[in-house]
Amino acid sequence: MKKENLILEPSFNLQQQIIILGISLIPLMFIIALIEAKLNWKGYLTFTFVLLLFSYLFALAFSKKGMIKKGNKLYKAKFFRGHTLFRQKVDLSDRPVVSILKFKKSQKLAFFSAARPDLSESFNSFEIFVLNENHFKRDSVMYFEEEDSAKKAVEFLTTDFPLRHEVFSPNLAR
């Protein structure tokens, strides 16, 4: 079974990466404490589990999002250095159309909330949807902050799957 990956842009922005890395400090403290302790087999098992948890959180912080084509199935996934951390199947049944919708989004800045509680960062989001024929039913596949990434993803979807790209326009007469 042939597998193709499309790795596009980082999964998290800087503030989200800092939060995930901060959470990963908790397993790191356990690792340091377990290194100095005399361990039995349960201790080594705990050490291995905590080390894997720390490694996973660290890899997740610096992961990139993308898509995987495996056979004729589509998955959205997170990658770290080309390796898949996890994936989720995207259902394409009864969805022959793909479209990009542009949204204006904002995200509050977590580290400045005490000084200025309403401080937020706004950005454009390019979200890819798979649609039915009438464009009434839509399912989100993935969103990107860069338009070029969204265009590459649509090109990947239209060349590797039986989807066609259309401009989103729900039509009651269809």
CA dist 108 and 120 (Å) reads 4
Look up the pTM and report it: 0.80
* Domain residue limits, the chain: 1-89, 91-174
For residue range 89-132, list pLDDT tens digits in order: 998 888 888 999 888 888 877 776 666 667 777 888 899 999 88
pLDDT at residue 20 in the model: 93
- pLDDT of 1 over the 60 cut: no
Q: Domain 91-174, CATH 3.30.1490 — does that match?
A: no
pLDDT at 152 over 70: yes
Higher pLDDT, 3 or 149: 149
**CA distances from residue 151 to 18, 67, 126, 127, 130 in whole angstroms, order as listed:** 29, 13, 9, 10, 14
